[in-house]
Amino acid sequence: MITQTPTLHAFVSGRSEGFTPLNAFDGALLDAGVGNTNLVKMSSIVPPATREVAVADMRLPPGALVPIAYAAMESDIPGSMICAAVAAAWTHDPAKPGLIMEYHSHGHREDAERVVRRMAEEGMKMRGWEIRELKSLAVDMQVEKIGCVFAAVVLWHHEA
């Protein structure tokens, strides 16, 4: 069971072709640097005072249960464009959490990034919070046979 509140976060993305949609998803996870862990999909809150690091600096143990907010899109239509994006927004109050939004679609990364950033802005507005920082990451690919794109915010903690 995950019991430690995350103190670190990382933005990651990946893409892959695969023998099946699941193989393509697995390849996209490997490309993003989280493929040898067990992802636990979280609702989209970044705990207060987390620090952004590269996913490699998290030193995720193989097989660890890793909290993550992600968007993924798979397709088996050759030639189709698929995209996934995540955005996170933080307010001026360091005691308040950050908010993550995820989005996937057919199309290009620029379109997905524009939508997910707007989603984060709307989520902050719904909470009555002014945005201090808004960060996003998007990925796309043109499918050859079976492809997957993956964008995520990984949450982790300092080792004790």
Q: Reply yes or no on whether 113 is catalytic.
A: no
Type of residue at 32 = A
Return the SS3 of 22.
helix
Q: pTM for the whole thing?
A: 0.95
In the chain, the number of structural domains is: 1
Domain range enclosing 29: 8-156
Confidence of residue 4 (pLDDT cuts 50, 70, 90): confident
Residue 1, domain member (yes or no): no
Average pLDDT, rounded, for the chain = 96
Of the residues 16, 74, 75, 102, which is catalytic?
102
- Residue 159 is predicted with a pLDDT of 66
Q: Reply yes or no on whether 102 is catalytic.
A: yes
Q: Does residue 97 carry a pLDDT above 60? A: yes
- Residue 3 is predicted with a pLDDT of 73
Can you spell out the DSSP letters for 46-95? EPTT-EE--HHHH-PPTT-EEEEEEEEEEE-STT-EEEEEEEEEEES-TT
**pLDDT per residue as tens digits for the range 28-61:** 999 999 999 999 999 899 999 999 999 999 999 9
Q: Reply yes or no on whether 136 is catalytic.
A: no
CA 4 to CA 10: how far, in whole Å? 17
- 86: which 2 tokens? 């995540």
Tell me if 84 sits within 8 A of 150, measured CB to CB.
yes
Q: Reply yes or no on whether 43 is catalytic.
A: yes
Q: What CATH number has the domain bearing residue 105?
A: 3.50.20.10
Residue 3, domain member (yes or no): no
**pLDDT per residue as tens digits for the range 61-83:** 999 999 999 999 999 999 999 99
Of the residues 38, 52, 110, 133, which is catalytic?
38
Identify the CA nearest to 139 among candidates 91, 94, 74: 74
pLDDT over 70 percentage in the chain:
98
